[in-house]
Structure 1
Amino acid sequence: MGNIRVRINGVTKEYEEGATYRDVAKDVQGEFEHEILLMIEGGTLKELYKKIDGDCELIPLTAGDETGRRTYTRGVIFLMLCAVYETIGKELVEKIRVEYSIGNGIYCEIDSAEGGLRQFTEKELEEVKKRMKELVSLDLPIVKRVVSRSEAIKIFHQERLYDKEHLFKYRRESQSSVYTMNGFTDYFFGYMPYSTGSLKYFDIINYEKGFVIVLPEKKNPEKVEEFKPMQKFFSTLVRTNDWCAAMDIENVAELNDVISEGGINEMILLQEALQEKRIAEMAEMIKHRPDAKFIMIAGPSSSGKTTFSRRLSIQLRTIGLMPHPISVDNYFVDRKHTPRDEDGNYDFEVLEAIDIEKFNQDMNDLLAGKTVQIPSFNFETGEREYKGDFITMGKDDIL
């Protein structure tokens, strides 16, 4: 039997033919600050249980990397599901819904088999947490299997995962991967850690109508910080869920149902009506705060800030206010002064790309009742221009 040569961090080592990525991870773990969860080979992610095909160069990933953190998160969710079903009993649980990320946690809810939501008692919470830690200490393998679509549907039915059973009826691929932990099988969109022993750091707390899985931060994967609630953000997510419930679309399978039954246009109209109603409510809230002269709209590139500002402006005008949308893009510094990133490309996302001094001066002048000419940034020439867009703030004007 021959050997294979593996290069990591500029060092080449030899391993016996048939060695797995796990074997290599264990061998080089001491060189890395955090536990290795995955490998990258030739730009492709590799789970640790797989055998290495031949000579290669590997890049280990840990929970300190974004991809590794997502893998760790999936593992802890799987751990939680297994522990809840074992502790509470599958017959008492209709389904466990992993809803959304909030800060350093993931909010979940349990639908009771008897109807309504079920929240952990303090005793149940401690039992679930204890069982999760027991599963970690057992260092159980997380086993991946490739099964046919029909077999996956059968598994989901047996595990009472009816939403996934419903979803897979629309799946076109003939095969899918499922994972098993301590006899419980589920499907996850993404890779898993090698075993439960890698999932040492987490907490679970009751929150609102459900509970939160608290995870370590990426910068320090071995430390679980105290959960910091983000109430406004959480309320927005809950409202979105309520919208989905109003449209009878609470998961992708139900969305597929609507599309296949020809109801997509009605769904879009209903969604637009709900959103317009909410924007109108925002406008009324703003009107009842006469001292508020600035409305700040934040979001990443191409997230719809400009479109939203126009829709809000229409609603504000219908109730007698005079909005003046101002894009911060118009305060970009001239292109020749724009900072560059490490690759030498223009970086428009950093604060230094904005002429903060000029922006602050114009906003303060407007608040002081002065007339200000608002600039317009020409993205073709890369320079700021002035085209006679003058604003003077009156009693009903708002920026």
Structure 2
Amino acid sequence: MRETIRVNVEGKGEFTVEKGSTLEDLSKMAFGKEYKKYLGARINNQIYHLQKSVKEGMNIRFLSIRDDDGNRIYARTISAVFIMACESLFPQCTVKIEHSIGEGIYAELEGGKSISFSEIRMIKEKMEEIIEKDIPIIREKVPAEEGIELFKKQGYEDKVRLHNTLDREEIQIYRIGDHVDGFHGYLAPSTGYVKLFDLKYYYPGAIILFPTTASVDKIPKFRERKKLAKVFKEANEWASILDLAFLGSLNEKVLNGEIGEVIRISEALHEKKIGHIADEICKDDDINIILIAGPSSSGKTTFAQRLAIHLKVNGKRPIAISVDDYFVDRDKTPLNEKGEYDFESIEAIDLERLNGDLVKLLEGEEIELPKYNFITGKSENSGVRIRVDKDHPIIVEGIHGLNPRLTEHIPEKNKFKIYISALTQLNIDAHKRISTTDTRFIRRLVRDNKFRGNDVFRTFELWQGVIEGEEKNIFPYQEEADIMFDSALVYELSVLKKHAIPLLRQVDNSSIYYSEARRLLQFLKYFIDIEEENIIPPNSILREFIGGADINVH
């Protein structure tokens, strides 16, 4: 008789299984025909792939696409299927998984090949064939030399260059039939786990659509974001100027002592873009109000101050108004679903007073600016009186800047709306993209620890609420912008790494944030440190997070 062990599955109770059973075996017992809805598992605050063997007394929570980690596994797995389909149909081309856009992931082919409308159907049919075969996905760790050789045989020069810059004894690979690939994070146990997907023609590539945490049983409708797509195109042009295709090429420049030029060109591109925005504003005499909005840790404060300098170069004398000073009194602040004050709601702002003051300023009247007392929760008089003329554009910075309600009494012709965020990042390799949300979190983690007295646990605790607020208050309005500014710097994670790693290492497996901290730690290990920070200019957006700025940003 075979030896058995007992384990507990959250929401299902206790199970007795044979010793040596995998999490996938247990999932089949617990969920029956619906087992393929579960893509990974959480045990002791750590994420595991379903090939892992179960052990006596384990408490297991299986992850579906409703969970962020389950959704990531689905996204990586359907991307792997897309790569296999394209390589089968177009063996002369390299597949590049670019970035998220809307509710999907944008991908394209390198090698001078665009995907035609008719080829979308071919790729989709090939993907369905691969999924129907339910090919096992085997995760292995192999010696680094062997892994590099396998990637060479697959024609993955980007992975070869990356791993040649890293001092690792082993490389994690995935085998899917004859196909070998590498991903950051886990995949599902087989291709049959990702049956729900769609492809959308998006010249010169395609959008891979799949269920989201909010829409688990159907494909969400794709909403095109034209302005955002142009930012991604511009980022590719900038990467070409910098001679950087993927992270391996950046690591090479760090190791070869060539990173100084990368930093100087990156910063010059930012400066050129900010100057261009100022020029566009100054071309139109009707523009009196400049609205700047973006999610957390986008570098809004530094950007606003640098824009003000460029406006002054054009003969303007900008005045900044803080939306934070227009909060309603605490007893009028709306509450969220948890009964907590919702300071990120637009209803937390005294819209009537803000609009009234802006109208008065446009009409040449003098106003006294309010000052919000965050200790008492009351609006007070500041004693500061201002009046503006046509040479005094008003800069209004805040998360609701693009929401039409914030300035509903101001004619559109008098506004210039700017959306700023860390919108793009250099991908790790052709198949491993970098989440811009991860970049912003790492920025915030470092800044909050240095300047706001928040430890790593507090930053994690606040982050989910920040994301929920952005989904509700910022992202729906980003296409309202007249222009978008990408505040990402191609080299920034190589600088932020040494600041972030000691903080993330403070999180052990007793914390609910352990799996996320571990994921970010593994991700940062791909980057070679930039040790010398004195080559980063004092007005860089990065200085807002690491310190050393020559302008007041805190």
The alignment's TM-score, normalised by the length of structure 2, stands at 0.66
Q: Is 2:288 the counterpart of 1:286?
A: no
Per mean C-alpha deviation after superposition, the further-off stretch among 272-281 and 389-398 is 389-398
Partner residue of 1:249? 244
Match of 2:11 among 1, 9, 12: 9
Q: What is the CA-CA distance between 1:167 and the residue it aligns to?
A: 0.3
Aligned residue type for 1:182: G
- Amino acid across the alignment from 1:56: M
Match of 2:162 among 161, 167, 189: 167
Q: Does 1:271 align with 2:266?
A: yes
Give the number of equivalent residue pairs.
392
Higher relative contact order (CA 8 A, sep 6+): 2
**Aligned-pair CA distance for 1:132:** 0.3
Matched, 1:204 2:199: yes
Contact in 1 for aligned 2:27/2:35 (Cα 8 Å): no
Taking the TM superposition and a 5 Å limit, the aligned residue runs for 1:1-399 are: 1-9=3-11, 11-29=13-31, 35-89=37-91, 92-93=92-93, 95-112=94-111, 117-333=112-328, 348-379=343-374, 384-399=379-394
Change in 2 beyond 3 A, CA 1:111/1:5: closer
Report if aligned partners of 1:118, 1:210 keep a CA contact under 8 Å in 2: no
16-25 or 340-349, which deviates more: 340-349
- Any stretches of 5+ residues in structure 2 without a counterpart? 395-554
Check conservation: 1:69, 1:218, Cα contact below 8 A: yes
Distance in 2 between the 1:33 and 1:335 partners?
48
Q: Secondary structure at the match of 1:153?
A: helix
Deviation, 1:74, is 0.5
Letter in 2 for 1:212: I
Q: Percent identity?
A: 33
Counterpart residue identity of residue 106, structure 2:
Y
Contact residue 369 and residue 393 of structure 1 kept, 8 A: yes
Relative to structure 1, the CA distance from residue 315 to residue 33 in structure 2 (aligned partners, 3 Å threshold; closer, same or farther) is: farther
The whole-number CA distance in structure 1 between the counterparts of 2:34 and 2:303 is 45
Amino acid at match of 1:397: H
TM-score scaled by length of structure 1: 0.90
Question: In the aligned structure 1, how far is the partner of 2:107 from the partner of 2:270?
Answer: 25
User: Once the two structures are superposed, what CA deviation does each residue of 1:91-129 show, in whole Å capped at 9, x if it has no partner?
Assistant: x11x222111110121122112xxxx2112344322211
Task: Summarize the Cα distance change of 1:396–1:26 in structure 2 as closer, same or farther, 3 Å threshold.
Answer: same
Offset of residue 305 of structure 1: 0.7
Checking the alignment, whether the CA contact within 8 Å between 1:34 and 1:221 is kept in structure 2 is no
Q: Residue 115 of structure 2 contacts residue 203 of structure 2 at CA under 8 Å; is this kept in 1?
A: no
Q: What is the identity, as a one-letter code, of the residue corresponding to 1:71?
A: I
Tell me how far apart the structure 1 counterparts of residues 369 and 78 of structure 2 sit (CA, whole Å).
Answer: 51
Larger mean CA deviation between 373-382 and 59-68 belongs to 373-382
| Structure 2 contact 96–109 (Cα < 8 Å) conserved | yes
| 1:23 positional shift | 2.0
Structure-2 change in CA distance of 1:155 and 1:383 (3 Å): farther
Report deviation, 1:34: 8.3
Moved more, 184-193 or 50-59: 50-59
Separation of aligned partners in 2, 1:161 and 1:390: 63
| Preserved CA contact (<8 Å) 1:310 1:325 | no
Gaps of 5+ in 1: none
* Superimposed CA distance per residue, residues 319-366 of structure 1 (whole angstroms, 9 cap, x where no aligned partner): 122322223223334567666777887654343443444333333333
**How far is the alpha carbon of 1:137 from its aligned partner?**
0.9
Which structure's CA Rg is the greater one? 1
CA RMSD of aligned residues (A): 2.5
Structure 2 contact 165–252 (Cα < 8 Å) conserved = no
Contact map agreement 1:6 1:15 (CA 8 A) in 2? no
1:8 is displaced (CA, Å) by 1.5
Q: Give the 3 Å change call, closer, same or farther, for CA 33–168 of structure 1 in structure 2.
A: closer
Does structure 1 conserve the Cα–Cα contact (< 8 Å) formed by 2:137 and 2:176? yes
